[in-house]
Amino acid sequence: MKFIDEYRDGEKARQVIEEIHRQAVAPMRLMEVCGTHTVSIARCGLRKVLPETVELISGPGCPVCVTGNRDLDRAIALTGIPDALVATFGDMMRVPGSASTLAMEKASGRDVRVVYSPLDGLKMAEEKPKRKIIFLGVGFETTAPTVAATVLEARKGGVKNFWVFSMHKTVPLALKTLLDLGEIKLDGFLLPGHVSAIIGSHPYEFLAKEYGLACVISGFEPLDILQSILMLVRQGRSRSPRVEIQYRRGVNPEGNLRALQVMRQVFEPSDAEWRGLGIIPGTGLTFRRDLAEFDACGNFELTVPPAQENRACRCGDVLRGLIRPQECPLYAGACAPKNPVGPCMVSSEGSCAAAYKYDS
Amino acid sequence: MIHEAGSTVYSEKDKILLAHGSGGELSHELVASLFVKAFANPILDPLNDMAVLRVGENRLAFTTDCYVVTPVFFPGGDIGKLAVCGTVNDLAMGGATPLFLSAGFIIEEGFPLSSLEKIVFAMQKTAAEAGVKIVTGDTKVVNRGAADQIFINTAGIGIIPPGVEILGRNAKAGDLVLLSGSIGDHGVAILSSREGLEFSTTLMSDCAPLNELVAVMLRASPRIHCLRDPTRGGLSSALNELARQSGVGVWVEEDRIPIKEEVRGACELLGIDPLILANEGKLVAIAAEDAAEKILKRMQAHPLGKDAAIIGEVREEPKAKVVLRTQIGSTRIMDMMVGEQLPRIC
């Protein structure tokens, strides 16, 4: 298949792996920010072919995983509104909130449906005018523009029974927060290709300039990631930290201006609560006032008890890169994909799920 | 709910989730912790696709399956064709010659009779192709909303020829793993015809009776140790079941698994792993090393096995696990699916 097979080519991969082994003389700790990278790395067994000097650490890049329990509880509570039909990406179904999951609510009779696009939710609203269709907006800059475009479409069509619960988050400031916590020492970032296709490379410049970190925006196929690691190793070796783009077929430095414009037309920055990182100002996306009629938050009264956290769950530490999934005391015992305690074990992009599925 | 030991496992809070019916980890757990525990007997316990019954000198194969696929009509087939193929294939996976089927229908009030007619004719046509007769049945109609259009149950009986010994626990180190063709066609065909999923494909379900292919393979060599059709849970679940039942390690080469370009494309688009997508006309065989090549040649000469390939081998270790050698030359575990990926694909 075009654009995919050539990035899975075994022989080319071997050459890049050999070059990484030659170049990676000094130890480097690299964080892959994106959950899709985490899964791709685990799925092709990439860690096993790297030299000992190159350490890959998973970061806070799975949007479902970084969603806090307070938001999860509210999303789950939305299913209880009379006539509600909650439309969500499949990944959210089994993520445990304080006391329940969307899948459990569905099993007890509430209407929760899995969709692949927010537009599918809007279509349901048009087809079922007596139902209240509430779309759960979870994702980073990759997802937010599509959701925003759907909201604009709903306004254009005069749709009155469609709402979005926006739990969207933006990435760059979260990386700054992670670094400012000072808990983890990194030499570079493998930056997310899809998010960067929207925001471009400029929002990451501070990582190289202020923090002296090597940065490469990477694609998602095994060979993309290997090439990006080689670029990071070379930056480290020449001590010339900068933001490079490996994923040139998807990303240009300016980003996707049209998508950004649509996103900003609908949403404005707000505080957001990140699992593991706490509340980070300016990393949430909330509805602008003129579109508030589509905001599920403002339009439904929810009584949600204060969020409960399972103290033994260390998803927060996993998301900050402080521990590997296997170092969590619950891993593979009390917490496994069939009985997940934390979101990292259930989301298809979660570090714990990837480790359990591919490494164990 | 009283188990043999007299103790209950579940509390009132526990509910059936869709994932319990997905063919993945939760399905297996439910079967093991409830059904097998309650019904325990030596015929059920090996958990093959069919039960083996000894009647005098003969060995009969007996199986049953329910069909709840939605949509009822999909590219390449319908629920009726599926209900015959699925049960015929479960019998064939024990090396049995399928003979007789039963058919039970649960139909929702208001279901168009013309649709029922199409489904029934499709069942008859498929049964004739597979050389089986539908000899008994039952029909129930329920109130609108109490079932979704139509559900079908079929049970099947077949006879296992002398000398054939195909069981999930029979894989041995040194055996080779064969796959009869490309995977994921059925899963993607169903997905593409679902309401609310906006993509189109020319892909058809691979839904087909496999008993003739199995007969051809057995004529090539009787030294087939295991057969399994990778339906719900896909290739990944089928191989994991065999690895667990035989207590062996199954090693598979990623780049030898045939996957159609359309399936790969749809999987990339939707973020789905083709290894866990359902198939309804494919089989996995584990056969003695020196017989595998001959079996493969005969498979490739049959229309349902023309893309057959040897995709891996059986080793002693790691026990009860499937290892995938990836395209960059590394290895990883190929695990059984846990959640539900596509509800009601069969």
B26: its two tokens: 């939760």
**Smallest Cα distance from A359 to chain B, Å:** 6
CATH code of the domain occupying B50-159 = 3.30.1330.10
State whether A44 and B330 contact (CB < 8 Å).
Answer: yes
Do the domain assignments include residue A356?
A: no
More confident residue, A11 or B102: B102
Q: Quick one: which of A170, A167, A168, A169 has its CA closest to A74?
A: A167
Going from N- to C-terminal start, the domains of chain B cover 50-159, 176-333
More confident residue, A134 or B335: A134
State whether B333 and A358 contact (CB < 8 Å).
Answer: yes
State whether B328 and A46 contact (CB < 8 Å).
Answer: yes
pLDDT on residue B133: 98
CATH of the domain at A276: 3.40.50.11740
The pLDDT of A38-62, averaged and rounded, is 94
Mind listing the pLDDT tens digit for each residue in B288-310?
999 999 999 999 999 999 999 99
Decide: B62 and B157 in contact? Cβ < 8 Å: yes
Cα–Cα distance, B309 to B283 (Å, whole number): 11
Residues 284-343 of B with CB under 8 A from A: 326-333, 335, 338-339, 341
Q: Residues of A with CB below 8 A from B25's CB?
A: 337-338
Q: Quick one: which of A23, A76, A66, A33 has its CA closest to A272?
A: A66
Closest-CA residue of A relative to B333 is A358
Class of domain B176-333: alpha beta
Tell me if chain B has a CB within 8 Å of the CB of A116.
yes
Nearest to A116 among B15, B19, B197 (CB): B197
pLDDT on residue A198: 95
| 3-class secondary-structure state, position B165 | coil
According to DSSP, residue B235 is labeled H
State whether B15 and A108 contact (CB < 8 Å).
Answer: yes
Which residues, in sequence order, are CB contacts of B319 under 8 Å at separation 6+? B243, B247, B248, B249
Find the angle CA(B179)-CA(B185)-CA(B187) to the nearest 5 degrees. Answer: 110
Tell me if chain A has a CB within 8 Å of the CB of B145.
no
Closest-CA residue of B relative to A8 is B327
More confident residue, B196 or B244: B244
Cα separations (Å) of A296 from A78, A135, A148, A151? 9, 8, 14, 12
Cβ-count burial of B172 within 10 angstroms (0-12 exposed, 13-18 middle, 19+ buried)? Answer: middle
According to DSSP, residue A169 is labeled B
Do the domain assignments include residue A185?
A: no
The bridge status of strand A28-32 relative to strand A188-192 is: parallel
pLDDT on residue B205: 93
Do the domain assignments include residue A103?
A: yes
pLDDT on residue B3: 46
Cα–Cα distance, B184 to B21 (Å, whole number): 18
B31-45, B97-111, B278-292: which range is least confident on average?
A: B31-45
**Smallest Cα distance from A185 to chain B, Å:** 28
> Cα B239 from chain centroid?
11
Which residues, in sequence order, are CB contacts of A156 under 8 Å at separation 6+? none
pLDDT on residue B256: 94
pLDDT > 70: percent of chain A:
98
One-letter amino acid for residue A321 of the chain: G
pLDDT at position B198 over 80: no
B176-333 shares the fold of B50-159: no
Decide: B82 and B154 in contact? Cβ < 8 Å: no
Peptide bond connecting A145 to the previous residue in cis, omega within 30 degrees of 0: no
Do the domain assignments include residue A132?
A: yes
One-letter amino acid for residue A37 of the chain: H
pLDDT on residue A2: 53
**Smallest Cα distance from B48 to chain A, Å:** 23
According to DSSP, residue B33 is labeled I
Residue with structure tokens 């999934």? Answer: A325
**Smallest Cα distance from B25 to chain A, Å:** 7
Do the domain assignments include residue A98?
A: yes
Which residues, in sequence order, are CB contacts of A179 under 8 Å at separation 6+? A186, A207, A211
| 3-class secondary-structure state, position A234 | helix
One-letter amino acid for residue A30 of the chain: L
Residue B68: band (very low, low, confident or very high) from pLDDT cuts 50, 70, 90: very high
Which residues, in sequence order, are CB contacts of A37 under 8 Å at separation 6+? A61, A190, A192, A218, A220, A225
Mind listing the pLDDT tens digit for each residue in A146-202?
999 999 999 999 999 999 999 999 999 999 999 999 999 999 999 999 999 999 999
Closest-CA residue of B relative to A16 is B328
Cα separations (Å) of B204 from A247, B130, B175, B281? 34, 20, 32, 11
Q: Residues of A with CB below 8 A from B255's CB?
A: 10
Cα first-last separation, chain A: 30
Do the domain assignments include residue A80?
A: yes
Q: Residues of B with CB below 8 A from A348's CB?
A: 271
What ipTM is given for this predicted complex? 0.70
Mind listing the pLDDT tens digit for each residue in B317-330?
999 999 999 988 89
Mind listing the pLDDT tens digit for each residue in B156-185?
999 999 989 999 999 999 999 999 999 999
Residue B63: band (very low, low, confident or very high) from pLDDT cuts 50, 70, 90: very high
Neighbours of B307 (CB within 10 A): 14
A17-31, A93-107, B8-22, B126-140: which range is least confident on average?
A: B8-22
Residue A210: band (very low, low, confident or very high) from pLDDT cuts 50, 70, 90: very high
B182: its two tokens: 């490309």
Cα–Cα distance, B207 to A109 (Å, whole number): 33
Beta-bridged to residue B74, according to DSSP, are B77
B184: its two tokens: 């994921």
Cα–Cα distance, A74 to B312 (Å, whole number): 47
Do the domain assignments include residue A130?
A: yes
Cα–Cα distance, B72 to B82 (Å, whole number): 10
Nearest to B330 among A4, A48, A223 (CB): A48
pLDDT on residue A327: 96
Neighbours of B51 (CB within 10 A): 17
Domain count, chain A: 1
Backbone angles phi, psi at B322, to 5 degrees: -115, 130
> Which range of residues forms the domain containing residue A105?
64-170+255-297
Beta-bridged to residue B346, according to DSSP, are none
Query: In A233-290, which ranges are E strands?
Result: 243-245, 267-274, 278-287
Peptide bond connecting B71 to the previous residue in cis, omega within 30 degrees of 0: yes
Cα–Cα distance, A237 to A241 (Å, whole number): 10
Which residues, in sequence order, are CB contacts of A222 under 8 Å at separation 6+? A7, A8, A13, A40, A44, A46, B326, B327, B328
pTM equals 0.80
